[in-house]
Amino acid sequence: MTKELEKRFKEVGDQSEKENPLVIAKFFSPVGGATWFASEYDPQTNICYGYVKDLVPSPNGIYDEFGYFSITELESVTLPFGLKIERDIHFDEITFDELIKPKIHKRESELKDIKENKDQKQDLER
């Protein structure tokens, strides 16, 4: 966590009442599917609030969810080959809607393709 990033979190402030919060920072595992998108940060506790995406299902079946995560814990993780959780230094602030929109459009496109393939198959069978 850089001083500049801490300053930006302070400028944006509490977003708990916002329907479409601004995502300020992105942290990720370079060897796995976990990604943490931070929309708030408390420098006293070193805790962020944001959206966590994981490609590996958790025991409760949740892949993606809002919640709190500790920067201290992320910094303490040692991954294979001695790698660490990293902050994406090229990440530009986006809204939460912008973050999830590609996923929604991808799913809509997949469903459309499935329907078209099913219709083509039915046409061939006639």
Specify the DSSP element, H or E, that contains 69: strand 64-70
- 89-123 pLDDT per residue, tens: 999 999 999 888 765 555 556 666 676 666 666 66
The separation between CA 82 and the C-alpha centre of its own chain, rounded to angstroms, equals 23
Which residue has better confidence, 71 or 32?
Answer: 71
Determine if the pTM surpasses 0.95. Answer: no
**Cβ neighbour number for residue 71 with a 10 Å cutoff:** 21
Comparing 2-6, 14-18, 76-80, 113-117, which segment has the lowest mean pLDDT? 113-117
Contact 25, 91 (CB under 8 A): yes
Q: Quick one: pLDDT at residue 56? A: 64
- 61-72 pLDDT per residue, tens: 556 888 899 999
Q: How sure is the predictor about 53, in pLDDT bands with cuts at 50, 70 and 90?
A: confident
Q: How sure is the predictor about 54, in pLDDT bands with cuts at 50, 70 and 90?
A: confident
